[in-house]
Structure 1
Amino acid sequence: MNEGLVVFVRSIIGFFSLLIFAKILGKQQISQLTFFDYVLGITIGSIAATLTTDLSSRAWPHFVGLLTWALLGYLMEYITEKWRYAAKYIEGEPTIVIMNGKIMENALRKMKFTAADIMALLRIKDVFDLTQVDFAIIEPNGQLSVLKKPEYEPLTPKDMSILKAPSGISTELIYDGILVEQNLKQLNKTKEWVMNQLKMYEVKDISEVFLATLTPSGSLYIDKYDDHITKITDIGDYEGPY
């Protein structure tokens, strides 16, 4: 009983300590975290967990460690904000891995990246053909920024002096074979309307549909469970022994 009470009190201390330190250190999206920020977060969380459950030692040494790591993290943030030269070594800097359409092999080796890694990051950016790439840069957080060659840049309505109405956000009508009636009411649609739309796609029953969405502009997307795709394209760079 006493141990449970101690854990409860320590948990409260650790929880609010993390909350305060997180506010002090600031907020960043996971995709924006550098490797240093990632390791710092894991370490502070680990110390807080030890503070909560390690009853074989006093709480204050763990709290001192927690406070020290948080203060050092804040100090590093302050230094990187004030001195860009220091940030270059603490947080890292962008590295060009493709320049004028050519892969910089030495830069890849220095960063411990492989050609397969770059291909995967390019696919995340909707680039499936290396001949379209003019520049590619690895940012300090590990993300890839891509500049396509001018002839592969998509035309926008602004380029053609065309006014385009906003398409809006898609709303789910059918999810995993189930009709989302609440969304239908928000869109002022009925089940009969949905069934009429499905008939145009040769769908007889809602249970045949994996996902159906509708945008405010009226664009309807329907994906059936049975798509009749017999062979999925293999994009792997190496088949392996299996």
Structure 2
Amino acid sequence: MRLLEIDFKEIFLSDLDFSLALEIGLRTVIMFTLVLVFLRSSGKKGVRQLSIFEVAVIIALGSAAGDPMLSGEFAILPSLLVFIVILGTYRFITYLASKNQRIENILEGKPIYIIEDGVFTIKEEGDANFAQDEFFAEMRGQNVEHVGQVRTAILESNGQVSFLFYPNDKPVKGMPIYPKEFGKRSREISQSGDYACTHCAMVKHLTKPSSCPRCGKDEWVLAIQSVRNE
């Protein structure tokens, strides 16, 4: 059986020659410089978490910059015009957002309370597209062992989470968030004790299987009471 012949030269080089490679390099330097100039002109000092609006701007910018980098069929000046239009639109919309809170909320989103008084909020649950495992990882990154150590947690519009903690001299019981302890959750109650609802983190003393009076769920995990290592 004849093996499939692969033309690696065609795959990696195709009809590329020295003059075309030089042109691509020059175009790339020019477009990359324009991208840097645009980002600097947008007023951003750096990037930590991008809003959806800013991601859309970056995608549009990359699309406008990509074709002139690789193909001689695309001139640079039309892309520069696209850059100018994108920058003008960005500046105009951010100006409107600074003057109108509703527009800013639409573009950037608004902070959402995830935890209040040591339990998960449930009234805004549908507004928070935030995976439980991802949020637990954020909490563990703040040396949080259980939800009872957190007084307030807010999902900011830039995707970061802000925390306020209970003082360590007044520890309360809460739902564990480390995999081994949280993995022991169950709908069965084998022994009486203080259990945390795995849905809303409300702590309740149970002697038998029961539904959570706050959210109506019936899965529980043994609550723990440890202080946070600051």
* TM-score bracket for the superposition, by shorter chain length: 0.5 to 0.7
Equivalent position to 1:77, from 71, 88, 94: 94
Match of 1:216 in 2: none
- Report the CA distance between 1:45 and its aligned residue: 2.9
SS at match of 1:22: helix
Whether the 8 Å CA contact 1:101–1:134 is kept in 2: the answer is yes
- The alignment's C-alpha RMSD in Å is 2.9
Could you tell me which residue of structure 2 aligns to residue 96 of structure 1? 113
Specify every segment of 5 or more residues in structure 1 that has no aligned partner in the other structure, as ranges: 154-232
Using CA pairs below 8 Å that are at least 6 residues apart, which structure has the higher relative contact order?
A: 2
Question: Secondary structure of 2:113's match?
Answer: strand
Q: How many matched pairs?
A: 161
Question: Comparing both structures, which one devotes a greater share of its residues to helix?
Answer: 1
Q: Is the CA contact (8 Å cut-off) linking 2:65 and 2:79 kept in structure 1? A: yes
**Do structure 1's residue 117 and structure 2's residue 134 form an aligned pair?**
yes
2:34 corresponds to: 17
Greater shift, 118-127 or 144-153, is seen at 144-153
**Worse overlay, 90-99 or 11-20:** 11-20
Name 1:41's counterpart in structure 2: 58
1:63 partner amino acid: L
Show structure 2 runs of 5+ residues with no match: 1-17, 171-177, 185-230
Of all paired residues, the percent bearing the same amino acid is 24
Partner of 1:164: none
CA drift at 1:238: 5.7
Q: Does 1:126 align with 2:126?
A: no
Partners of 1:141 and 1:152 in 2: CA distance: 32
Residue of structure 1 equivalent to 2:78: 61
How does the TM-score come out when normalised to structure 1? 0.56
Deviation at 1:148, TM superposition (A): 1.0
The aligned residue for residue 176 of structure 1 is none
Moved more, 87-96 or 65-74: 65-74
CA distance in 1, matches of 2:123, 2:131: 11
* Counterparts of 1:147 and 1:234, CA distance in 2: 23
Which amino acid letter does the alignment assign opposite residue 94 of structure 1? Answer: P
TM-score using structure 2 length: 0.59
Please show how residues 141-152 of structure 1 align to structure 2 within 5 Å.
141-151=158-168
Q: What's 2:44 paired with?
A: 27
Query: Is this contact kept in 2: 1:108–1:114, CA < 8 A?
Result: no
User: What secondary structure sits across from 1:30 in the alignment?
Assistant: coil
What CA distance in whole angstroms lies between the structure 2 residues aligned with 1:236 and 1:7? Answer: 56
SS at 1:105 equivalent = coil
Does structure 2 conserve the Cα–Cα contact (< 8 Å) formed by 1:35 and 1:141? no
> Cα distance, 1:22 vs. partner?
1.7
